[in-house]
Chains A and B, each alone.
Chain A
Amino acid sequence: MPQVAADIQHLKKITQEIRIDIIRMLTEAGSGHPGGSLSATEIVTGLFFHKMRHRPDDPFWADRDRFILSKGHCCPVLYAALAKTGYFPKEELLTLRKLGSRLQGHPYPGRPGERLPGVETATGSLGQGLSIAIGMALAGRLAKKTYRVYALLGDGECQAGQVWEAAMLAPKAGLDHLCVIVDRNKIQNDDFVENTLSLEPFRAKWEAFGWHVIEVNGHDISQVLEALEKAEAVKGKPTVIIADTIKGKGVSFMENNPDWHGKAPNREEGERAIQEILAARL
């Protein structure tokens, strides 16, 4: 893989800060989904702090790369990244899920005149985000723009039929400026994905639909950045990066445990989680 010029140590430090924000937000909210936010932290960091062209001070810049969080329940990781890059004040993170907050429990871009900068559209009814990303990619091509479109999907949501309607279309349309990242954390709401409805052979499914497939360790930020670069170099077809991840990554009692898909830590658990994240060797 090509070497990517990036300050990896700095990005690792950012993933640590984002994980702490995720825990703080969810502890304060008292509900929400920590596991899939923690598993996607390196992916989101790689996109927002390195790969994507975007301007937090000009959020509707026409040439920005688009990001669609199809696995909308993992919005804490997105909100944390947006606040950290400057789309909105960091204090706003603690309003997550509270009445009147722009930080809805699942992403919502806001009503006209009350837009939440950085959130492109509403997601969270699983299986719908890739279609929207395709629409944006087609729009970019029609307007002769050069922006890229990124869609982050959960592996559980790949059980939804609409994902495969969309997966069938994107290669046919030759959307090489579209990149899907699947957070393959192997756990969904009720149980392990494998126990619920197996996706395997997962790579072969995407390949059969006409996608270029890259598999990476989704917690190795260098690998994530390299995959994102390689995806951009692929021409004539879209790329899917299957990121092998651990649900709840960084908090030992949450890791690989389906119970922490959709449960917020209490104060004591939150404090313990933060101490662990801070103690981790970067």
Chain B
Amino acid sequence: MGGKATRVAFGEALLKVAAKNQRIVVINADLGKSTNTVKFVEKYPDRSFNVGVAEANMIGIGTGLALEGWIPFLCTFATFVTGRFETIRVSLAYVDANVKIVGTHAGIAIGEDGYSQMGLEDIALMRSLPNMTVIQPGDAIEAAGAVEHIAEHHGPVYLRLTRQKVEDVNPPDYQFEFGKGVILDAGKGEGRDLTIMATGGTVYNAREGARQLRSQGLDARAVNVHTIKPIDRELILDSIQRSGRILTVEDHGLSGGLGSAVSEVVAERGEGLVRRIAVRDFGESGDPVELYKKFGLSKENIVAEAKKLVKKD
């Protein structure tokens, strides 16, 4: 994999927004080296806190700081922070605290460390909370745009980031637009046969899959859904109108993620088919590319599932 990890892009963008906005503070839980907040800590020691391996305390401290007007970024692995769900639920989300929860090491693509370190239920958990916004950028430039946006957007946000490098899917002049899905290779496919909606680390494979399908005569379009809550209903319904078929792809568990969010919109409309590619089991250790093959997140499997979906009616 080439490109840049979105966690790295986050660390760089954080320095930029922190220079402009003196209210931004960072709370680490002993994973600053992994979440890329080390430079922030060096530059702004007074605005940095390391609470140790104590994520529930981190959530409460972040809330207290936010209630007093600071903008805390809580930075640790996706699964460790969202696993303290009940503290997020009552202490943070319920009072609409202006806290940015940054969960890195999302999905099976973290690789060799294995399931205990993989964020695989985090979107489901965060999406279930009123007040909470859920964003997962698909490449480095989008991660930077998302960080700029959430620093200025009041309210709790969950930002989900990759450990692994991800290929660029957006052009260099890309502007992040909150709440709006991004049509990739715009103009090259109308989506008359299907739309593939992907998020985070799977967006590149989804785009490549759509390109292959088009080369084989299917009118497929790929959409990058960076804002998962609130979901882009308009784009989902537009996709259903075009083909009646959406294939979702995500490096997250099957329940409660992007596939669920899309299915809910489609089911409420009462027409259209959704097929979900997601992680259907606990993860395991391995090379990230091999894991994507095993768990069905490869380009090849996206193409195969797309063909099954198109033949289904």
Q: How many residues of A contact B (CB 8 A)?
A: 33
B304 partner residues in chain A, CB cutoff 8 A: none
- Give 1 or 0 for each of A120-140: 1 = CB within 8 Å of chain B CB: 111111011111111111111
Closest residue of chain B to A111 (Cβ to Cβ) is: B96
Residue A112 at the chain B interface, CB threshold 8 Å: yes
Q: How far is the CB of A177 from chain B (nearest CB, A)?
A: 13
- Give 1 or 0 for each of B60-73: 1 = CB within 8 Å of chain A CB: 11111111111010
* Bound: A162/B68 CA distance, A: 21
B19 partner residues in chain A, CB cutoff 8 A: none
B52 partner residues in chain A, CB cutoff 8 A: 165, 168-169
- A121-B87 in contact (CB<8A): no
Closest residue of chain B to A106 (Cβ to Cβ) is: B90
Q: Which of these binds chain A: B43-51, B176-184, B222-230?
A: B43-51
Q: How far is the CB of B284 from chain A (nearest CB, A)?
A: 29
- B67-A135 in contact (CB<8A): yes
B51 partner residues in chain A, CB cutoff 8 A: 165, 169
* Bound: A140/B70 CA distance, A: 10
Q: How far is the CB of B62 from chain A (nearest CB, A)?
A: 6
- A121-B95 in contact (CB<8A): yes
- A162-B64 in contact (CB<8A): no
A108, A128, A136: which contacts B68 (Cβ < 8 A)?
A: A136
Tell me the residues in window 10-51 of chain B with beta carbons closer than 8 Å to chain A beta carbons.
25, 46-47, 49, 51
Residue A143 at the chain B interface, CB threshold 8 Å: yes
- A162-B94 in contact (CB<8A): no
- B60-A134 in contact (CB<8A): yes
Interface size range on B against A? 20 to 34
Closest residue of chain B to A124 (Cβ to Cβ) is: B90
- B91-A131 in contact (CB<8A): yes
B135 partner residues in chain A, CB cutoff 8 A: none
CB-CB under 8 A for A125 and B62, given A142-B47, A165-B54, A165-B56: no
Closest residue of chain B to A133 (Cβ to Cβ) is: B64
- Give 1 or 0 for each of B67-87: 1 = CB within 8 Å of chain A CB: 111101000000000000011
- 5 extra A-B contacts, CB within 8 A, seeds A121-B67, A165-B52, A169-B51: A127-B56, A130-B60, A131-B91, A142-B25, A169-B54
What are 22 A-B pairs with beta-carbon distances under 8 A?
Answer: A108-B95, A121-B64, A122-B94, A128-B56, A129-B60, A130-B60, A131-B57, A131-B58, A131-B64, A135-B65, A136-B68, A139-B68, A139-B70, A142-B65, A143-B68, A143-B69, A162-B54, A162-B60, A165-B56, A166-B60, A169-B54, A169-B57
6 shortest interchain CB distances as A-B pairs: A135-B64, A131-B60, A139-B68, A165-B54, A165-B57, A135-B61
